[in-house]
Amino acid sequence: MKPTGTDPRVLSLAAEVAKSPEQNVPVILLKLKEIINNTPLGSSELKKIKQDIYCYDLIQYCLLVLSQDCSRIQGGWTTVSQLTQILSHCCVGLEPGEDAEEFYNELLPSAAENFLVLGRRLQTCFINAAKGEEKDALLHFFEVVTDSLFWLLGGHVQLIQNGLRSLLNKQEPGTEFSQELRQLIGLLSPKACQEVKDQKQHKAACLIQAYWKGFQTRKRLKKLPSAVITLQRSFRCKRTKMLMKLSRQKEEEDHRLQLQIQRQRAMRLSREIRLNMLEIVHPGQVEKHNREIEEKSALIIQKHWKGYRERKNFRQQRPSLTEYKAAVILQRATLKFLAKCRKKKKLFAPWPGLRELTDARRIELKQQVDDYMRRHPGSQISDVTSRELHSQAQEQLQRYFMGRALEERSQQHREALMAQISTNIEQLMKAPSLKEAEGKDPELFLSRSRPVAAKAKQAHLTTLKHIQAPWWKKLGEEAGDDIDIPKDELSVELGTLFIGGTKPP
């Protein structure tokens, strides 16, 4: 039964072998070497390829070719030596599955026997060869065949055991050679092989540990000078600190001793002065002198005590003083802020209009006008002239109020436009990029302003014309030329979205 999921290279090779004539089969089988070499060693893919080669009887074809006469094979010993390599590599690491008994009892012994027969033929040809170049070539082929045999026996130790047992059966029992053969068979048993393998692994582990420990030791030895330098530096730094500490302690002790000596000297001088004064002063004035000294001492003690008490009170009252200063600063800043607010309100306050005049106020204003006219007599104006002046004043006043209303409406319109522009800018800044926009996100880029839409449409059309223009019209343009088109893709996309159009290809 053929395996499922067969490698196509093996399948095509098997089909080619089946269709080709017998003389071309050895050369076709050499393609197995390329397939095996292109597959990583120890991988599951290599095991699967070996199973496919075995299932499609390509290994049996190799055995049949090796059992033939080398002179009839195309390529001669070169093809035969390469086929031995292919056969040994395909047999080692192969898991035959259901045909394991046939593989181990028939195929492997026949392969080892063919290798030995080929080696014997190569020896015979080497002895009969006359030229040196021919001998070198035959020697090379013999090495290839023996290496293939060793590779096969190394992968299947039971072949050596079977061969040694058959040789032991042919020998007479009790001889020294038969005993040595038994010892060799015991060494090649699975248990002994496992012990040898464990010993090799133990030696390899010891060797790895030795190399690793040597590497670590060399690494530590390389770092030893820097570690010694660091240790010396830290020791010198610590010693310097200790010496500085000792010198500082010694200086403090010397200073304390000097202060004590000065204090003792001052006390001695003061006592000597007192004794001299007592000797100079009249006995009747000694009491008065002592009282004066006591008063001076009391004043000095009181002065020092009051200074200490005031400094202590000041330290206790410092937080409250700080709070008081902070409160004063805050009040001052608040008053300034409120004054500025009142000033702004007065500046931007709407005109309150004319107050209604009461009869008393009207009489008072009339008296003021009469007094002013009495103090400042003017030229006589007729009633007609006065009415004209009055009507002119009324018209100017009306024009002023109408202009003020228009100005207020225009100011409100400007503020609304600025607010709309600020909102549009904020939406554009917070909107995602055009490439990431989904759903209703492009609506954020739309503008309800007709001037903006018209400008965007104009920029969009200009860009389209410039992009669709033939190449010869763009020859005179440079990077620094003033071209009335958007310079980046973002402006084109914005213009497209503002007018609701589509982006050019």
DSSP letters spanning 184-204: HHHHTSHHHHHHHHHHHHHHH
Is 174 inside any structural domain? no
Place of tokens 């071209």: 483
Under 8 Å between Cβ of 108 and 157? no
Mean pLDDT, all residues of the chain = 76
Say whether both 40 and 99 belong to one domain.
yes
- pLDDT reported for residue 111: 74
Say whether both 330 and 250 belong to one domain.
no
- pLDDT reported for residue 499: 41
- What is the radius of gyration, based on Cα positions, of the chain? 59
Say whether both 37 and 81 belong to one domain.
yes
Q: Lowest-confidence range among 158-167, 252-261, 269-278, 430-439?
A: 158-167
Is 435 inside any structural domain? no
Contacts 24+ apart (CB under 8 A), 441-450: 442/497, 445/494, 445/497, 445/498, 446/497, 446/498, 446/500, 447/498, 449/420, 449/424
What single DSSP character describes residue 104? Answer: I
CA atoms within 13 A on the CB side of 471: 0
Residue where a domain terminates, one of 135, 156, 177: 156
Under 8 Å between Cβ of 59 and 53? yes
Helices (H), 74-131: 77-91, 100-102, 108-128
Tokens matching residue 138: 């035959």
Is 178 inside any structural domain? no
pLDDT at 459 over 70: yes
Query: What are 156-180's pLDDT values in tens digits?
Result: 666 656 554 554 455 455 555 455 5
Is 236 inside any structural domain? yes
Say whether both 50 and 148 belong to one domain.
yes
Say whether both 152 and 32 belong to one domain.
yes
Say whether both 401 and 487 belong to one domain.
no
Contacts 24+ apart (CB under 8 A), 348-354: 351/404
Query: What are 200-221's pLDDT values in tens digits?
Result: 788 888 899 999 999 988 888 8
**Residue span of the structural domain in which 138 resides:** 8-156
Is 307 inside any structural domain? yes
How far is it, in rounded angstroms, from Cα 152 to Cα 62?
14
Q: Can you give 370-421 as a three-state secondary structure string?
A: HHHHHHCCCCCCCHHHHHHHHHHHHHHHHHHHHHHHHHHHHHHHHHHHHHHH
Say whether both 43 and 145 belong to one domain.
yes
Tokens matching residue 289: 């002198």
Q: Report the number of distinct structural domains present in the chain.
A: 5
Say whether both 14 and 72 belong to one domain.
yes
For the entire predicted model, the pTM comes to 0.36
Write the CB contacts of 96 (distance below 8 Å, at least 6 apart in sequence): 51, 54, 102, 103, 104
What single DSSP character describes residue 487? Answer: S
Say whether both 83 and 119 belong to one domain.
yes
Say whether both 255 and 297 belong to one domain.
no
- pLDDT reported for residue 164: 47
Is 77 inside any structural domain? yes
- pLDDT reported for residue 167: 45
Is 182 inside any structural domain? no
pLDDT at 148 over 70: yes
pLDDT at 184 over 60: no
Handedness of CA 267, 271, 273, 274 (dihedral sign): positive
Closest CA to 409 of 352, 350, 449: 350
How far is it, in rounded angstroms, from Cα 271 to Cα 474?
112
Say whether both 218 and 334 belong to one domain.
no
Handedness of CA 373, 378, 380, 382 (dihedral sign): negative
Write the CB contacts of 118 (distance below 8 Å, at least 6 apart in sequence): 66, 70, 80, 84, 145
More confident call, 421 vs 186: 421
Residue where a domain terminates, one of 280, 312, 329: 280
How far is it, in rounded angstroms, from Cα 397 to Cα 246?
96
Percentage, residues of the chain above pLDDT 70:
76
Say whether both 150 and 21 belong to one domain.
yes
pLDDT at 20 over 80: no
Q: Quick one: pLDDT band at residue 191, thresholds 50, 70, 90?
A: low
Is 374 inside any structural domain? no
Residue where a domain terminates, one of 231, 248, 280: 280
